[in-house]
Amino acid sequence: MNHDAYSDSYIREILTGVKTIAMVGASPVNVRPSYFAFKYLAERGYDMIPINPGQVGKTLVGKPFFASLRDVDRPIDMIDIFRNSDRAMAIVDEALSLKTLPKIIWMQLGVRDDAAAAKAETAGIKVVMNRCPKIEYGRLTSEIQWMGVNSRTLSSKRAPIPTSGMRLSLNRASVGGGATTAADRIAKDKNNKS
Residue-wise pLDDT for 15-64, tens only, equals 999 999 999 999 999 999 999 999 999 999 999 999 999 999 999 999 99
Supply angle C-alpha 18, 23, 28, rounded to 5: 135
CATH class of 8-193: alpha beta
Would the pTM of this model clear 0.75, i.e. be above it? yes
Per-residue pLDDT at 177: 43
Is it the case that residue 10 has pLDDT exceeding 60? yes
Closest CA to 48 of 57, 56, 39: 39
What is the separation of C-alpha 79 from the centre of its chain, rounded to a whole number of angstroms?
A: 8
Residue-wise pLDDT for 75-85, tens only, equals 999 999 999 99
Distances (CA, A) of 96 to 1, 103, 115, 125: 19, 11, 14, 9
Distances (CA, A) of 192 to 70, 107, 186, 187, 189: 34, 19, 10, 9, 5
| pLDDT (average), residues 189-193 | 62
Residue 42 to residue 62: CA distance in whole angstroms: 10
